[in-house]
Amino acid sequence: MFLYNYYFKALFCVMAATVLGCYTTPAQQNPLFIISSTKVYSKPGINENAIGIYARGGFAKEIKKLSNGWSLVIVENGDTGFLPSKFLTNILNANDKFEKDPKDFVLPDDENAAYGSPHLFVIGAAVKGRAIFAKNKPVVKIYRTNQPVSVSYLPYNNDGLVNVEGGYYEPEKMIYIPKKFLGKKLNFDASINEFNGTSNTQLKKQLAERIYEMSWLENQANNLKGVQLFRRYAQETNNLKLYNETAFEEFLLIHTRQQLEFEAQLKLHQNNPATIIIQGKKMPFFLSDSNINEITLSQKIIKNSGNNNYPECGIEVSAEYVYDNFKIYKSFNDKLNYIPEAYFKNNEIALNIAGYQIDSSTTEEAFVKKMGSILQFSWFDAPHIYTINDSDAAAYVFYFKEGKIVKMEYFFYC
């Protein structure tokens, strides 16, 4: 858990008590916004040593306003420094006068910009993001090569920490990574050329790991190219465990290279309406009340009391029919009942989608081979989980574990 008050009060006492003591006033309880890009200095004065730089929109905790137009502040990573008081404000406004943010950041009009605000890209592989103001500084997230991250304060010390998530409005979500792992976006092809041209063992390993992670953020062709390079590197360095562990990733990318256009996917579903098979009896995916009455399995009925936390999108749920391995959301429309979640156990339930039957015997390899052209997935964030759009308003999600189908979910987009 983040200790927000610890950051903005006790932390300063630890770091700056020898300078000013724990000086606070009621007006200093909240962080202030940075109205225009400014450097932060070790002492008040533009000729002093600069320790970092802000982009407009960053935030700082003002500890003391000096009489010479400068303020002592705690910056976003807990360091202390000085900046001109005129750059601190309680609120940002479109009419503010401010300088364009510096090239230390990737800006919205840059060629490789990913965000509409200042940001940078992760340039290391599997970089650990830590909650530095929480007990034991736990790792809370892993960042991948070329992943964009929002940045509003950048220390000049290469080992300094940078806030890449959370902030003024989300202090409990603050995450930090070292500055040395941030920079401008790496070029995929240039990285491959550098990998092929070096004999430095350590650099080759570093590049292989970065290329592997970049490949998952690139286009489909580069996905496969990067993973295949990484697997060759693992084989050449006799890392057979890694080589074998990534075999399925190459298989997955080979079978998902050729994606159907969205209109073609819709046509595929229209020509092959989805059906559910329960206890061997085929039914339409959207069940009628009479379909539900034909199910002889034991059930528990939960009425919608208004506090059931049902999805806000899609149908309005009047009741929930709960069975051992699946449930049905009953609609006020007697022909729009559907199964939002089902576990594939004991051959109790099966789903036929786009002409392919999915049941408890379905393997992940067979599923990918057959459905690869319509699968969506995010391998690093959610491996072995696949989404298939049913239309522009809904989708199926399939979960696999140890090569076998486990669960299906169905949801409506908002």
User: What pLDDT, on the 0 to 100 scale, is given for residue 18?
Assistant: 31
Pairwise CA distance, residues 154 & 115, whole Å: 17
Whole-number Cα distances in Å, 410 to 81, 139, 370, 372, 393? 52, 32, 20, 19, 11
- For the chain, what percent of residues have pLDDT higher than 90? 69
Pairwise CA distance, residues 110 & 287, whole Å: 51
Q: How confident is the model at residue 7 (pLDDT cuts 50, 70, 90)?
A: very low
Residue 57: φ, ψ to 5°: 100, -10
Higher pLDDT, 365 or 95: 365
* pLDDT, average across residues 231-247: 96
pLDDT (tens digit, 9 = 90+) per residue, 327-379? 999 988 777 899 999 999 888 899 999 999 999 999 999 999 999 999 999 99
Q: Which amino acid is at 255?
A: H
Residue 270: φ, ψ to 5°: -65, -40
* pLDDT, average across residues 84-103: 91
Q: Assign residue 229 a region: left if phi > 0, alpha if psi is -120 to 50, beta otherwise?
A: alpha
Radius of gyration of the chain (CA): 27
* pLDDT, average across residues 278-286: 91
* pLDDT, average across residues 254-262: 90
Of the candidates 153, 159, 157, 129, the residue with the CA atom closest to the CA atom of residue 61: 153
User: What pLDDT, on the 0 to 100 scale, is given for residue 24?
Assistant: 39
pLDDT at 10 over 70: no
How long, in residues, is the chain?
A: 414
User: What pLDDT, on the 0 to 100 scale, is given for residue 219?
Assistant: 65
List, in order, residues 6 or more apart from 30 with CB less than 8 Å away: 90
pLDDT (tens digit, 9 = 90+) per residue, 201-229? 999 999 999 999 998 887 666 789 999 99
Assess contact for 137 and 130: CB atoms under 8 A: yes
In this structure, what token pair is assigned to residue 8? 């903005």
Mean pLDDT of the chain: 88
User: What pLDDT, on the 0 to 100 scale, is given for residue 336?
Assistant: 83
List, in order, residues 6 or more apart from 37 with CB less than 8 Å away: 53, 54, 55, 56, 98, 99, 100, 101, 102
Least confidently predicted of 70-74, 188-192, 215-219: 215-219
Q: How confident is the model at residue 305 (pLDDT cuts 50, 70, 90)?
A: low
> The pTM is what?
0.82
* pLDDT, average across residues 115-129: 96
Pairwise CA distance, residues 314 & 302, whole Å: 19
pLDDT at 392 over 80: no
User: What pLDDT, on the 0 to 100 scale, is given for residue 23?
Assistant: 39
Q: How confident is the model at residue 307 (pLDDT cuts 50, 70, 90)?
A: low
Assess contact for 153 and 163: CB atoms under 8 A: yes
Least confidently predicted of 39-43, 91-95, 183-187: 91-95
Q: Which amino acid is at 403?
A: G
User: What pLDDT, on the 0 to 100 scale, is given for residue 232?
Assistant: 96
Exposed (0-12), middle (13-18) or buried (19+): which is 103, by Cβ within 10 Å? exposed
Pairwise CA distance, residues 405 & 386, whole Å: 11
Least confidently predicted of 164-178, 374-388, 399-413: 164-178
pLDDT (tens digit, 9 = 90+) per residue, 18-55? 333 333 333 446 789 999 999 999 999 999 999 999 99
List, in order, residues 6 or more apart from 50 with CB less than 8 Å away: 39, 40, 41, 42, 156
Q: Which DSSP state fits 101? A: P
User: What pLDDT, on the 0 to 100 scale, is given for residue 44?
Assistant: 96
